[in-house]
Amino acid sequence: MEKITSFTIDHIKLVPGVYVSRKDPVGNETITTFDLRMTSPNDEPVMNTAEMHAIEHLAATFLRNHNEFGAKIIYFGPMGCRTGFYLLLAGDYESKDIVPLMIELFQFIADFYDEVPGASAKDCGNYLDMNLPMARYLAKKYLNEVLLNITDAQLYYPE
Protein backbone atom coordinates (compact mmCIF):
# COMPACT_ATOMS: atom_id res chain seq x y z
CA MET A 1 0.00 0.00 0.00
CA GLU A 2 1.29 3.49 -0.87
CA LYS A 3 2.12 5.89 1.96
CA ILE A 4 -0.25 8.80 2.32
CA THR A 5 1.33 12.23 1.88
CA SER A 6 1.34 13.15 5.58
CA PHE A 7 3.54 10.12 6.31
CA THR A 8 6.14 11.32 3.80
CA ILE A 9 6.90 14.53 5.76
CA ASP A 10 10.21 14.22 7.61
CA HIS A 11 8.99 14.44 11.21
CA ILE A 12 12.58 14.57 12.47
CA LYS A 13 13.07 17.93 10.73
CA LEU A 14 9.54 19.22 11.44
CA VAL A 15 9.30 22.11 13.90
CA PRO A 16 6.23 23.75 15.46
CA GLY A 17 4.47 25.91 12.89
CA VAL A 18 1.48 26.36 10.59
CA TYR A 19 1.65 24.19 7.48
CA VAL A 20 -0.59 23.45 4.52
CA SER A 21 -0.98 19.69 4.79
CA ARG A 22 -3.09 19.21 1.67
CA LYS A 23 -5.58 20.76 -0.72
CA ASP A 24 -8.53 18.76 -1.96
CA PRO A 25 -11.00 19.70 -4.67
CA VAL A 26 -14.63 19.20 -3.63
CA GLY A 27 -16.98 20.16 -6.44
CA ASN A 28 -16.04 23.72 -7.44
CA GLU A 29 -14.41 24.42 -4.06
CA THR A 30 -11.00 23.66 -2.56
CA ILE A 31 -10.67 22.38 1.00
CA THR A 32 -7.33 23.38 2.56
CA THR A 33 -6.10 21.24 5.45
CA PHE A 34 -3.68 22.90 7.84
CA ASP A 35 -1.25 21.17 10.16
CA LEU A 36 -1.08 23.31 13.31
CA ARG A 37 2.01 21.74 14.83
CA MET A 38 2.34 22.81 18.46
CA THR A 39 5.18 20.55 19.62
CA SER A 40 8.30 19.24 17.95
CA PRO A 41 7.54 15.63 16.91
CA ASN A 42 9.63 12.92 18.55
CA ASP A 43 11.59 15.61 20.39
CA GLU A 44 9.26 17.28 22.91
CA PRO A 45 6.66 15.56 25.09
CA VAL A 46 3.29 15.24 23.39
CA MET A 47 0.26 17.07 24.75
CA ASN A 48 -2.02 15.20 27.13
CA THR A 49 -5.59 14.51 26.05
CA ALA A 50 -7.15 16.75 28.73
CA GLU A 51 -5.51 19.94 27.48
CA MET A 52 -6.01 18.95 23.85
CA HIS A 53 -9.68 18.36 24.57
CA ALA A 54 -10.04 21.82 26.15
CA ILE A 55 -8.22 23.43 23.21
CA GLU A 56 -10.47 21.55 20.79
CA HIS A 57 -13.68 22.77 22.47
CA LEU A 58 -12.44 26.36 22.71
CA ALA A 59 -11.02 26.49 19.19
CA ALA A 60 -14.02 24.89 17.51
CA THR A 61 -16.36 27.29 19.30
CA PHE A 62 -14.20 30.35 18.56
CA LEU A 63 -13.61 29.47 14.92
CA ARG A 64 -17.21 28.59 14.07
CA ASN A 65 -18.32 31.90 15.57
CA HIS A 66 -15.65 33.97 13.83
CA ASN A 67 -17.05 36.86 11.75
CA GLU A 68 -14.81 36.36 8.72
CA PHE A 69 -13.95 32.63 8.79
CA GLY A 70 -16.90 31.08 10.63
CA ALA A 71 -18.74 29.96 7.50
CA LYS A 72 -15.51 28.52 6.05
CA ILE A 73 -14.63 26.26 8.99
CA ILE A 74 -15.02 22.60 8.04
CA TYR A 75 -13.23 20.96 10.98
CA PHE A 76 -10.86 21.61 13.87
CA GLY A 77 -9.53 18.61 15.78
CA PRO A 78 -6.54 16.88 17.32
CA MET A 79 -3.85 14.84 15.61
CA GLY A 80 -3.65 11.27 16.80
CA CYS A 81 0.03 11.75 17.64
CA ARG A 82 -0.94 14.58 20.03
CA THR A 83 1.60 17.04 18.62
CA GLY A 84 -0.97 19.44 17.16
CA PHE A 85 -4.30 19.97 15.44
CA TYR A 86 -5.83 19.92 11.99
CA LEU A 87 -7.86 22.81 10.68
CA LEU A 88 -9.87 22.35 7.49
CA LEU A 89 -11.08 25.48 5.70
CA ALA A 90 -13.27 25.89 2.64
CA GLY A 91 -11.11 27.81 0.19
CA ASP A 92 -7.64 27.77 -1.35
CA TYR A 93 -5.25 29.15 1.27
CA GLU A 94 -1.56 29.30 2.07
CA SER A 95 -0.16 29.07 5.60
CA LYS A 96 0.60 32.79 5.83
CA ASP A 97 -3.06 33.56 5.03
CA ILE A 98 -4.25 32.19 8.36
CA VAL A 99 -1.48 33.33 10.72
CA PRO A 100 -3.52 36.37 11.86
CA LEU A 101 -6.50 34.07 12.54
CA MET A 102 -4.27 31.66 14.49
CA ILE A 103 -2.86 34.54 16.56
CA GLU A 104 -6.40 35.64 17.35
CA LEU A 105 -7.45 32.07 18.20
CA PHE A 106 -4.54 31.19 20.45
CA GLN A 107 -4.69 34.58 22.21
CA PHE A 108 -8.37 33.82 22.91
CA ILE A 109 -7.45 30.43 24.41
CA ALA A 110 -4.50 31.84 26.40
CA ASP A 111 -6.82 34.46 27.93
CA PHE A 112 -9.86 32.21 28.52
CA TYR A 113 -10.92 31.86 32.17
CA ASP A 114 -14.61 30.93 31.89
CA GLU A 115 -16.25 27.51 31.67
CA VAL A 116 -15.14 25.57 28.61
CA PRO A 117 -18.04 25.53 26.10
CA GLY A 118 -19.68 22.12 25.86
CA ALA A 119 -17.93 20.75 28.96
CA SER A 120 -20.94 18.99 30.44
CA ALA A 121 -22.25 15.43 30.44
CA LYS A 122 -25.16 16.53 28.24
CA ASP A 123 -22.89 18.18 25.63
CA CYS A 124 -19.76 16.00 25.51
CA GLY A 125 -18.92 12.31 25.62
CA ASN A 126 -15.90 12.78 27.90
CA TYR A 127 -16.49 16.15 29.56
CA LEU A 128 -14.40 15.39 32.67
CA ASP A 129 -11.22 15.04 30.57
CA MET A 130 -10.42 18.76 30.29
CA ASN A 131 -7.47 20.77 31.57
CA LEU A 132 -8.06 24.47 30.96
CA PRO A 133 -4.99 25.77 32.84
CA MET A 134 -2.68 23.58 30.74
CA ALA A 135 -4.60 24.49 27.57
CA ARG A 136 -4.00 28.18 28.36
CA TYR A 137 -0.30 27.49 29.02
CA LEU A 138 0.16 25.62 25.72
CA ALA A 139 -1.77 28.25 23.76
CA LYS A 140 0.44 31.01 25.20
CA LYS A 141 3.59 28.98 24.45
CA TYR A 142 2.52 28.39 20.81
CA LEU A 143 1.54 32.03 20.46
CA ASN A 144 4.82 33.40 21.85
CA GLU A 145 7.26 30.83 20.48
CA VAL A 146 5.73 30.30 17.05
CA LEU A 147 2.90 32.52 15.87
CA LEU A 148 4.05 36.00 16.88
CA ASN A 149 7.44 35.65 15.16
CA ILE A 150 6.73 32.94 12.59
CA THR A 151 9.43 32.22 9.99
CA ASP A 152 9.31 30.58 6.56
CA ALA A 153 10.72 27.41 8.15
CA GLN A 154 7.52 27.29 10.23
CA LEU A 155 5.22 27.90 7.25
CA TYR A 156 6.50 25.28 4.78
CA TYR A 157 7.20 21.60 5.38
CA PRO A 158 10.91 20.68 5.47
CA GLU A 159 12.42 19.19 2.32
Q: What per-residue confidence (pLDDT) applies to 3?
A: 84
Q: Chain-centre distance of CA 97, in angstroms? A: 15
pLDDT for the residue 19: 97
Residues of the chain falling short of pLDDT 70: none
Handedness of CA 34, 39, 45, 47 (dihedral sign): negative
The correct answer on CATH 3.40.47.10 for the domain covering 5-154 is: no
Q: What angle do CA 61, 53, 85 make, to 5 degrees?
A: 80
pTM, two decimal places = 0.95
Q: Look at residues 43, 55, 36, 52 and name the one whose alpha carbon lies nearest to residue 154.
A: 36
